Structure 1
Amino acid sequence: MQGLSEHERYKPYNSRTIRETPYWRRLSLALQEAMDIVARVMPFRTNEYVLGTLIDWDNIPDDPIFRMTFPHRDMLLPEEYASLKHLIEQDDTEAIKRRIEAIWLRMNPHPAGQLTHNGVTLNGKVLSGIQHKYRETVLFFPGAGQTCHAYCTFCFRWAQFIGEEELKFNARESQELVSYLRVHTEVTDVLITGGDPMIMNSRSLASYIEPLLELPHLKSIRIGTKSVAYWPQRFVTDKDTPELLELFRRIVAAGKNLSIMGHYNHPVEIRQDIARQAVERIRSTGATLRMQAPVIRHINENPADWAALWTEGVRLGAVPYYMFVERDTGPSHYFAMPLARAFEIFQAAYRTVSGLARTVRGPSMSTFYGKVLINGIETVAGEKVFVLQFLQARNPQWVLRTFYARFDPQVTWFDDLRPAFGERAFFFQGEPAALPELIPVLLETA
């Protein structure tokens, strides 16, 4: 590591240590107060690269990367902020703890049935850190990867980072995953997620992945990561970068598709020289880099930013994959936008890019029932409607089924949509028996 600049050495900061940096003094007293209060509820972690390279300090608090990484008072409801501020001033430790826990509960820590419907069992035992929502794909949460190089303020996995073990998905090793996959040969893809698996050193990451290479029915290994944006040095200058890239090559040589699911929210993240080098290094191993992110109020509402992000990604060899809708969790009241607006942004950006960037799909909602695409806003039989379609579903028979919801310019999430044409329910809401029959994760394996 000798000879590396300050921005090439990974140096994280939390809500306490950030106060020791010159960046803290650039915050107004109001922003410092908000940081002190909101960071007690929502996790905060950043690093020197984000602070020194990505954030435009002449544009705070409106800089998009600043909004993505620093807490804002409006992330709490006004009454929550005021009451928590009062309790902090009173130094009432127990009351502060109870108030924070109540806010966490209000924020829906595990949306879309993650805790109640996505878990798996094997021989009567619940397997920790494994989710199986869709037939072909299993999610794996390695215990050593349940943090990130920096935290996003809007992250739907915020409950992984607040120190409450009962809210956390966490697997200590991969043997239970391998045992589960040996029984469930319908699974072709494993998504290693977190947190961020790339926070692990290469040896730890290999210990989780290499046992999977022996499974012939497993075709693809995906790694979900924000490191391509928040710490691209992971693929270029980190001490064990050569070992990491060699691991990628071994995965590809074993006949598996390796897809790095890169979380890019704004074009500034991919415009840095080190970020472009990271893309080149990843691709040199035979891995594919895909780009995905939610559309977020205060951060990436400009269609031109999305078009620039996708176009630059394609130029570098990455594949635009998803624009997501902000989930109904955490401070979604602050970050979510009406579905109609999300569609307008996607459509405006999509219209300006070439066919090579039109691999992207969106806006997509990861709902309890599956991934629901907003395919359009149309007038059908005299009624203005959202045109919706399942891209993925708990019941595979629902995939690519088109259905319609009444248009509502204010709705921000799927659960608040109502069926069009006077229907009482969507077609899939009367099929409870379909879930245990078609989702093997809900069945105990003998």
Structure 2
Amino acid sequence: MHPKYLSIKDFTYNLPEEKIAFHPLDNRDDARLLVFKNEKIQANTYRNIAAHIPEETLMIFNNTKVVEARLLFKKDTGSVIEVFCLQPHEIYADITTAMNQTGSVQWLCLVGGASKWKKEQVLQLRFEADATAYTLEGALIEKRSDCFVVELSWNGNFSFAEVLHHAGHVPLPPYIKRQDETADKSRYQTVFARYDGSVAAPTAGLHFTENVLSSLRQKNINTAFVTLHVGAGTFRPVKADTMLEHDMHSEFIEVERALIEQLIEQGNKVLVAVGTTSLRTLESLYWLGARLITNPQAFENELPFLSQWEAYEHTDTPHKTDALKALQVYLSETGSSRLVAKTQIIIAPGYTFKMIDGLVTNFHQPSSTLLLLVAALIGDNWRKVYDYALQNDFRFLSYGDGSLLWK
């Protein structure tokens, strides 16, 4: 069956609220780890994950950095209008460019209390930096079907990323039903976070500490990084009866040419994605490369974009090394040190994995595209894995425990 015709009702389960982790553990690597391999389940902790991964494996992490994307503007009446910064306006080449803007920027946003915000009204938000007061202003520019275009401007010589850090709040997922706290600034962030741009954490990476990363190196397990800026769409429930009617969210990815070359050198050795975002990035690389093999001018004068069903429509499926080499040639010919693209890929049962052998991931919401991805990887065994986790007191969702799943 083509994934378009899958019914989301077949990918649900009962998740009691008491199973959801509302706070992180005191120590990241104390999180429990469910290992699923060859139809068998083992329980351990992230501290010992190296014991379950073979030597010479290459593990790919997402080094995106969560930005404080929630801005709370107060009106003169005292009411609060929340502006949730989703992604930059199309006028910017990529997220990094937009995050580095100074003075003003245009952003696509969700607005809580939008009916109370008149288009000609400029809202203000005071914030402090280095013991000095500054002002951030917000003006409505355009209403779209699913968001608003908001122009944000500020005084002071700050990049927009710095403004968010000083003025914004951590965008905790909607199922964590509490206000953000000071600790969330560091704990809802991986220890290797580098590039500003996400409004949700790549949660599988939250459990890794410097000690865990050191244990991987000691076993000759290599690590490398991609960047996928996680959008709020990752939490959007599937409301359609079938996946055909679900519009998958798209996200920016950035991959260094050096990593593509490392993936080519890895050949058929084991490749493990840490997080669904890393997995989606790696699989997207394959299909972007496959398109270049078919049409070397495919990305001429436009940002490479992978639509949600393209992976299921290719008649030719080249070897992964050939697909990666096509990307390598493309970057060489364009004089680029990194590939910047957008991906809308949806990975669901019926998908054939081209790049990865295993996945490190948290436990996901019922009826979500992330659960569909897990089901694509391990088939109907996803129920066995989730039942075990529920019956053995694993903690679920972003601040919860996780799993190592082998294809």
- Compute the TM-score of the two structures, normalised by the length of structure 2: 0.30
Which structure has more strand as a fraction of its residues?
2
Q: Which has the larger share of helix?
A: 1
What is the TM-score when the length of structure 1 is the normalising length? 0.28
Higher RCO by CA contacts (8 Å cutoff, separation 6 or greater): 2
